[in-house]
Structure 1
């Protein structure tokens, strides 16, 4: 027992054992005798001979960690309960997170599978984005600062060297802090870092998860930092084809071209969902081999919600054998959603950006699960259709009215009341048209083509404004980013992608807006997030893009 074991701190926190030690202090296990709960207490310890200036700096740094962490509201952030000042130094009282650090997991269990690495990275990315919104940079993202709880929860810890925007309590000492392998090139060069520096560190952490070692590790700090700044990345051979571009994008040396958080989130979600889709497909194949009592009898696996699991089986089975298609909604004017604000939704480039969602028809089954975004090559039939339509449209031109091209098998050629033409999956049926939109719905998903005769000058700007308003218009809104999307010669075009919650189901949406000349259009898809990335759904989206012909 040390001189601190058993000590009662702040007249309520009884120190009962050491959880870990570091160069800056000790983390204790403690009992909160007032509330009867176990907590973690971080003690700041100083070396002998520390002068008053350094003492002040270290205390201020510890208090800054407490303030920074306490401001972040995210499941992957440690909750700070209290700060107690004793012996002239602060003690931070936090929730106790069980389990192991990610560094320990990698060392003891070996490299992680890409899907699990993506799941962990998504949690870390979430708390980083929350911190960045508050003007906080973590500056020390690395495997040893990521905890994996016994129940699978992921927590990013140690904001001790975090940089808080507007905080002038700490003056720079010129000392570079952080683990060399996870320090971004701009920080290694002494430049002022921004959020991309944390994303670099996340990329390095992802690399360590799949490869079992940090990137650019050269043995010494100086050699490693030199490699970070000057050497090419050794390819992550275990990451797989979906996760590898995420790692390489996050470890782009130039922060201006480094993968941003929205794109990283979308791609990580795809990696995580691939494993889920494969597991569901395996379940369906196994379930199909079990005879039912009667044709069409529902399957109810033991120990779960029968209706939800039955939908899962049906959805995955359809994806395997009959082309389950995704639909999407471009919201018509005036349609509200469960009390959400209504507004005049308009195609990208129209200058009108207040969205009001039109949900899929009530009573139709939907599935909730993480999902990806992706662009998957369509079938040869769809590719042929794309080639045909590509030759019909030149930049800045409005194509003349034409007979719609032959639809691929399983699709129907539709001409909307406005005069446009598009190939639509057979499962989606046309709905009554309004003055500005035509909808096609079926199987719980929808496709809507919206149009305007007064398009605005910038599709991307309109979508950026709509994206910013997303949290006010959608429950559980999660942006997957806006981006330019040059579309068959129409350069004033952009994509807006996001997910949100609808009746307990996670939904996924993609809105492609573009201006053809005298018209602005939006091809807008929405579907349950769980099935967004099936090849059939991707083909359905691509077929609508490839076959679309504007009105003359």
Structure 2
């Protein structure tokens, strides 16, 4: 034991060993003798040369860390149990997260696959968004401050230099704190940072995860900060087609042009979702041998994939542009669709939309344009008693109107057109709420993303896409919410996952979107 080891704090926390040391603190393993659990205790340590002013600043910083962390409610935030004041200094009692730091994982195991990197980044982004809503900036997001638990849990630690809105008690020194490689350009220039500064640091952390090194590292703090402010980013080579533009967007030097949290969440979710689909399809292929495709088939598939990737990439970039277009900032300015989450297993959902960009119903799923009305065969135009019209395939049975929904069903597929005369403020925001409640309302819910879009002439529109389990079958849903003026609508498709990408269903969805005419 050291001179502090074995010490009892606050009459209940017995220090049993050192977990780690930093420049200003030591983290101890301790036993809570009152509740019989193992905890972590962060001790503030100061050398003898620290004057009273610096001592006060460090105490305030430590207390602020405890206060800031305790306010955040997220699985990726460490739970603060207690603060004990002894020896005229605070000791923070926290939950003990067993595992390694992300920096250790990268150093010991090498760069992470893009899907795992996206999973970790999603958790870090989630806790950052919770903090930002409380007016808290972390200001030191980096791999060494991200813990990967033995159970796979991701935890963002060390809010010790967090900036709390309205609290200037620790900003008077003018010190630039944080790791140079992960400090945003605006902070490096001495400008007042906002949430985009934390997103820059997240982008740097994401870069380090897939490349195995930070985006900027020139050997010294000054050289590194100069590079952050002035030098172009070395493009990532291992991030893949989705993470590469996201990382570049997060590491945009101008915070006004930097990718925002909603767009980042969208792409990260898509990377995770596509990784899950690939894993499942690989398992299926391994279990069920299939005939080898012919050379002509391989060429055709390759051509389709190239076009689909190019189109999908262009679509996903649009929501990130903050000047013009159908981004979320524009969508929030006009009345949007009122919404409520659908009940588990039901075919109904309300006209609204969510946070992550989903695949556009036609472009990303079919590289060929939808047929014009004159080319259509096998479709009929439905004139609803509610005043709208829509073309539906002949094989869909019209089940009529139930409540505020016109329902069509057949062969396991459902098309619902829903309406409201009292749309809310934002289609995107409504879908975001529905997406957050997805796991509560749909068994086996897996979000495939949401995005704001300009749907024909209606700028206040958004898509929400997901899969779930229904009566033992995996089904796929896409819900497009939009406002046409005084009415809000949702065009909502659900089909078995196995047939979702079939040519007939891809065309049917696109025809419904292209042909829809709202009530006057």
TM-score by length of 2: 0.77
Cα displacement (A) at 1:463:
2.4
How many angstroms apart in 2 are the aligned matches of 1:363 and 1:486? 25
SS of 1:118's equivalent? helix
CA 1:281 to 1:129, structure 2 compared with 1: closer, same or farther past 3 Å?
same
Q: Are positions 1:524 and 2:491 aligned together? A: yes
How many angstroms apart in 2 are the aligned matches of 1:175 and 1:239? 34
How many angstroms apart in 1 are the aligned matches of 2:236 and 2:435? 36
How many angstroms apart in 2 are the aligned matches of 1:424 and 1:249? 41
SS of 1:74's equivalent? coil
CA contact (8 A) 1:404 1:549 kept: no
Q: Are positions 1:406 and 2:376 aligned together? A: yes
SS of 1:525's equivalent? strand
Deviations 1:104-132 (A, max 9, x none): 00000000000000000111111111111
Structure 2 partner of 1:326: none
SS of 1:228's equivalent? helix
CA contact (8 A) 2:370 2:511 kept: no
How many angstroms apart in 2 are the aligned matches of 1:23 and 1:444? 62
SS of 1:432's equivalent? strand
How many angstroms apart in 2 are the aligned matches of 1:248 and 1:260? 12
Deviations 1:335-354 (A, max 9, x none): xxxxxxxxxxxxx9995743
Cα displacement (A) at 1:548:
2.0
Structure 1 partner of 2:366: 379
SS of 1:208's equivalent? helix
Q: How does 1:2-151 map to 2 (within 5 A)?
A: 2-151=2-151
Q: Are positions 1:255 and 2:255 aligned together? A: yes
How many angstroms apart in 2 are the aligned matches of 1:528 and 1:8? 61
Structure 1 partner of 2:353: none
SS of 1:255's equivalent? coil
TM-score by length of 1: 0.73
Structure 2 partner of 1:356: 340
Deviations 1:350-404 (A, max 9, x none): 957432345475599xxxxxx97334534354x142xx4xxxxxxxxxxxxxx56
Cα displacement (A) at 1:466:
3.7
Cα displacement (A) at 1:66:
0.4
CA contact (8 A) 1:451 1:519 kept: no
CA 1:435 to 1:160, structure 2 compared with 1: closer, same or farther past 3 Å?
closer
Cα displacement (A) at 1:33:
1.4
Deviations 1:71-109 (A, max 9, x none): 111111111111111111000011111110000000000
Cα displacement (A) at 1:199:
1.0
Structure 2 partner of 1:339: none
Moved more, 242-251 or 66-75: 242-251
Q: How does 1:155-170 map to 2 (within 5 A)?
A: 155-170=155-170
How many angstroms apart in 1 are the aligned matches of 2:498 and 2:63? 46
Q: Are positions 1:186 and 2:186 aligned together? A: yes
Within the candidate set 440, 452, 463, 2:427 is matched to: 463
Deviations 1:266-298 (A, max 9, x none): 1101101112111111222344459xxxxxxxx
Cα displacement (A) at 1:203:
0.7
Task: Note the residue ranges of structure 1 that are not aligned, 5 or more in a row.
Answer: 291-347, 365-370, 389-402
CA 1:266 to 1:430, structure 2 compared with 1: closer, same or farther past 3 Å?
farther
Structure 1 partner of 2:154: 154
Structure 2 partner of 1:421: 390
Q: How does 1:299-314 map to 2 (within 5 A)?
A: none
CA contact (8 A) 1:262 1:481 kept: no
CA 1:39 to 1:259, structure 2 compared with 1: closer, same or farther past 3 Å?
same
CA contact (8 A) 2:101 2:145 kept: yes
CA 1:268 to 1:479, structure 2 compared with 1: closer, same or farther past 3 Å?
closer
Q: How does 1:425-504 map to 2 (within 5 A)?
A: 429-433=397-401, 437-441=405-409, 446-450=414-418, 461-463=425-427, 466=430, 483=452, 485-488=453-456, 490-495=457-462, 497=464
Aligned residues: 461
How many angstroms apart in 2 are the aligned matches of 1:223 and 1:39? 40
Q: How does 1:207-222 map to 2 (within 5 A)?
A: 207-222=207-222
Cα displacement (A) at 1:162:
0.5
Tell me the C-alpha RMSD between the 2 structures: 3.9
How many angstroms apart in 1 are the aligned matches of 2:398 and 2:236? 47
SS of 1:193's equivalent? coil
How many angstroms apart in 2 are the aligned matches of 1:188 and 1:122? 25
How many angstroms apart in 2 are the aligned matches of 1:193 and 1:18? 34
CA 1:258 to 1:531, structure 2 compared with 1: closer, same or farther past 3 Å?
farther
How many angstroms apart in 2 are the aligned matches of 1:223 and 1:136? 29
How many angstroms apart in 1 are the aligned matches of 2:496 and 2:333? 26
